[in-house]
Amino acid sequence: MGKVRIGFFSFTEVTDRAEHRSYNEWHQLDHMPEQYPIPGVVFGQRWVSTPDCRRARAAAADALAPIHYMTLYLMGEPLDATLREFRDLGRRLHAEGRFHEHRRSRLSGPFTVTGMVAAGRVLVSAEAVPYRPNLGVYVIVRDAARVTADVATTDGVDGVGQDAPLAPALVDVAGVAGVWTFATSAEFDHHGWHPGHKTVTVCYLDAEPLAVAPRLDEEVRRQGGVGRETLFCGPLQTVTPWHWDWFDDDG
């Protein structure tokens, strides 16, 4: 799998529509940069579910329907020390008044990397896909507890079996540069995050997310559909610094 062992996800709702600009300014110019000095934090990126992206979702259960943003930090060894410092930093920033007040995490925590594949046309390795510039992502979140027991767990990692055939099919869709899959694992429960039993599939897009989404919707349905275990399925747009106007006219 390479040096990245886990992805730390945060699916976030901004609770006051007037605070989107301040939230983005805080996250990109203050909060995210503070993570990189932590040993083991390899990379981080943020995406936004714009009003158009929201309308293009194939599925969104009540728990994740309100989200506006997804953040993904990629982490490697030393995992325990990295997660410990990551949590400690959050507490310190809270104590210093450097945490945004108008936000709510709808799902967050560390997920084990369970697979990665790159489209042949992009030339880079599957391990390198997240570092390649993208215009957005297409994300599928599933409740592994609702998947039948024969594919729900593999060596303590939730839901590995259900996403294994999905990634190679999705990576062949035009506009998809690569696909990474993640799953929760009991290995990290002692760090205090409790995301439940879930899997996340991230398709990295080098074409406009709203143009690629219908093709991915079709392929997801072909591979088994959007079932009751699907908590979220849809596109998000890459956040570009200082371009934070998606919700300015959102009534």
Which among 62, 57, 68 has a CA at the least distance from the CA of 10? 68
With a cut of 70, say whether residue 164 has pLDDT above it.
no
> Rounded to the nearest 5°, which phi and psi values hold at 145?
-65, -20
pLDDT of residue 250: 67
Range in 26-30, 38-42, 147-151, 191-195 the model is least confident about:
147-151
Structural domains in the chain, sorted by start = 6-238 (3.30.70.100)
Residue 50 pLDDT more than 50?
yes
Please choose, from the candidates 83, 45, 47, the residue with its C-alpha nearest in 3D space to the C-alpha of residue 209: 47
The pLDDT, as a whole number, for residue 152 is: 43
The stretch 99-121 carries a mean pLDDT of 95
Mean pLDDT value of segment 17-23: 95
Segment 128-138 shows an average pLDDT of 98
pLDDT tens readout for residues 134-150 = 999 999 999 988 764 43
Q: Is pLDDT at 238 greater than 60 in this prediction?
A: yes
Query: Contact, 110 vs 200, CB < 8 A?
Result: no
What pLDDT score was predicted for residue 178? 98
Give the residue with greater pLDDT, 93 vs 131: 131
Q: Inform me whether the pLDDT recorded for 7 exceeds 90.
A: yes
Indicate if the pLDDT at residue 193 is higher than 50.
yes
Would the pLDDT of 167 be above 60? yes
pLDDT at 155: 55
Class of residue 120 by CB neighbours under 10 A (exposed 0-12, middle 13-18, buried 19+): exposed
> Which stretches of 119-227 are assigned E, i.e. beta strand?
136-143, 153-154, 157-158, 176-183, 198-205
For residues 191-215, give the mean pLDDT. Answer: 96
pLDDT in tens, 74-88: 999 999 999 999 999
Q: Are strands 69-75 and 41-48 parallel, antiparallel or unpaired?
A: antiparallel
